[in-house]
């Protein structure tokens, strides 16, 4: 069942990521890490659904999405980048994505960090971030979503890496087997992996090769 909801606020998070705050339907429940299918509630767009993860806390009186937009693509995210207060979206019921199973390492590439936002915010509120780690890869520093918020989360260890910025003081290079071996010393913990499909596949293979139990690797489905 689709719900028509109004946009309450739009805000730029980075140069190409927006935060949408929208109405929350009565009785609408989800768990941190879940997503839903979203469409623009306007003629010609209602059948163009795209999956987006909730980034709000579950007891908030609104829903929040943190979405990377592609202005050069003539599609849904390009339109989302133009939304204003009062515009309407169609949201479906919540579904799967990533579910928290216990302390571990969150490994994200680009907009793949979005399923982790609500999970980490929820853990921060509960005081359960100690020992958790976020490994977050982006092209450049300006692409890092919510860097300040992640760095300010008490107990969360952050490791940012960039692939295309030679003058950055951050770690450099792809998250490959050598990188994981250099920066992780416990392959018996839980792992959460989300990003471009090729990255998910390669990181999963590398974690298994380094001794991680396949059942301990949670992926976005």
CA distance 95 to 31: 9
Give the global pTM.
0.94
Domain limits of the chain?
3-91, 104-219
**Is there a shared CATH topology between the 3-91 domain and the 104-219 domain?**
no
CATH superfamily for 3-91 is Translation factors (2.40.30.10)
How many CB atoms lie under 10 A from the CB of residue 120? 24
CB 55 within 8 A of CB 64: yes
Q: pLDDT per position in the chain (221 positions), as tens? A: 799 999 999 999 999 999 999 999 999 999 999 999 999 999 999 999 999 999 999 999 999 999 999 877 668 888 999 999 999 999 999 998 699 999 999 999 999 999 999 999 999 999 999 999 999 999 999 999 999 999 999 999 999 999 999 999 999 999 999 999 999 999 999 999 999 999 999 999 999 999 999 999 999 76
* Terminal-to-terminal C-alpha distance of the chain: 21
The CATH number of 104-219 is: 3.40.50.80
């Amino acid at each position: 069942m689709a719900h028509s909801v109004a946009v309450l606020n739009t805000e730029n998070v980075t140069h190409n990521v927006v935060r949408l705050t929208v109405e929350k339907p009565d009785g609408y429940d989800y768990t941190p890490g879940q997503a839903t299918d979203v469409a623009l509630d306007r003629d010609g767009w209602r059948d163009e659904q795209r999956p987006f993860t909730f980034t709000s806390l579950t007891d908030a009186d609104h829903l929040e999405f943190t979405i990377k937009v592609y202005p050069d693509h003539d599609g849904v995210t390009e339109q989302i980048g133009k939304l204003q207060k009062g515009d309407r979206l169609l949201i479906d019921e919540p579904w799967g994505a990533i579910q928290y199973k216990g302390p571990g390492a969150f490994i994200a590439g680009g907009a793949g960090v979005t399923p982790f936002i609500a999970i980490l915010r929820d853990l921060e509120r509960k005081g359960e971030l100690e020992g958790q780690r976020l490994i977050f890869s982006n092209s450049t520093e300006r692409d890092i979503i919510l860097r300040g918020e992640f760095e300010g989360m008490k107990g969360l260890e952050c490791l940012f890496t960039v692939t295309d910025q030679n003058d950055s003081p951050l770690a450099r290079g792809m998250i490959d087997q050598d990188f994981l071996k250099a920066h992780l010393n416990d392959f018996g913990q839980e792992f959460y992996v989300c990003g471009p499909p090729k990255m998910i596949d390669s990181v999963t293979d590398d974690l298994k090769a380094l001794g991680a139990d396949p059942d301990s690797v949670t992926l976005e489905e």
